[in-house]
Amino acid sequence: MSIAENLKAIKKEIPENITLVAVSKTKPVSDIMEAYNIGQRVFGENKVQEMTEKWEEMPKDIQWHMIGHLQRNKVKYMAAFVALIHGVDSLKLLKEIDKQGKKNNRAIPCLLQVHIAEEDTKFGFDAHELKELIDNPEFKKLDNVSIEGLMGMATFTDNQDQIRREFKNLNGLFQDLKNSLPHLSVLSMGMSGDYTIAIEEGSTMVRIGSSIFGKRNYN
Ligand SMILES: *Cc1c(COP(=O)(O)O)cnc(C)c1O
């Protein structure tokens, strides 16, 4: 199937109020344009340089989401245009985003990444660290970041019960956090292999790559 056909099929399965981030990392501009031409406007990348190059080349009504692990020294290259940063996992990084937001006269939208996977290779805050962060006076001073919600990745496994448990956990944290930060509205969870479960468990934003663009070639 073509990219356009894949995208149409997935859109049919996703309720309209859920945001679809088309994950275009490693894929050429021509592939992204195929999705753009049938109306897709939100794309996700995991490398700042690649995202910046694509932003320069492509139509300016695209919303670029940074979904990868982010180094502090890279924030400045995308601060002017990034629509949402999904993988924020430290106060240090938040402070840098705040600084770059100030320089660009904007509040940069961010999601706090939460570690939900039972495997211990993924980045992110745990429940305790999340609470410490939002109670930290330094966190409250960040005027040029706008915290929109949480992001998480389930364990890479065939065990559907485990995936569901991890997403349930994340939604539980999200609902708790809303008691302190009632404006939160984004729960980014679900990828090609698990987005159906993620939606059942309360996701508001799914990040789908290979099911739209096909397998990635990292060579
Ligand atoms: C690559 C990536 C995705 C998309 O993965 P697929 O399995 O290709 O859908 C989603 N989220 C993050 C954080 C990623 O790095």
pLDDT at 216: 86
pLDDT at 219: 59
For residue 141, report the distance from its CA to the centre of ligand 1, in Å. 32
pLDDT at 118: 79
67 touches ligand 1 (CB under 6 Å) = yes
Residues of the chain where predicted confidence (pLDDT) is lower than 50:
none
- Tokens 């991890």 correspond to what residue? 166
pLDDT at 171: 98
Kindly calculate the radius of gyration of the chain based on its CA atoms and give it in whole angstroms.
17
Closest residue by CA, ligand 1 atom 5: 209
62 touches ligand 1 (CB under 6 Å) = no
148 secondary structure, DSSP code: E
Q: What is the pLDDT of residues 86-134, one digit of tens each?
A: 999 999 999 999 999 999 999 999 999 999 887 766 689 999 999 999 9
CA distance 19 to 159: 25
pLDDT at 218: 72
Cα 106-151-37 angle, rounded to 5 deg: 70
Helix, strand, coil percentages (3-state) for the chain, rounded to 5, are 40, 20, 40
23 touches ligand 1 (CB under 6 Å) = yes
For residue 138, report the distance from its CA to the centre of ligand 1, in Å. 31
Instruction: State how far the alpha carbon of 189 is from the alpha carbons of 2, 76, 111, 192, 203, in Å.
Output: 25, 26, 11, 11, 6
Beta bridge partners of 65: 44, 84
Looking at the domain covering 3-213, what would its CATH class be?
A: alpha beta
Closest residue by CA, ligand 1 atom 4: 209
Chain centroid to CA 187 = 9
For residue 211, report the distance from its CA to the centre of ligand 1, in Å. 10
pLDDT at 85: 98
46 touches ligand 1 (CB under 6 Å) = yes
CA dihedral 155, 171, 202, 117 (to 10 degrees): 0
Closest residue by CA, ligand 1 atom 12: 67
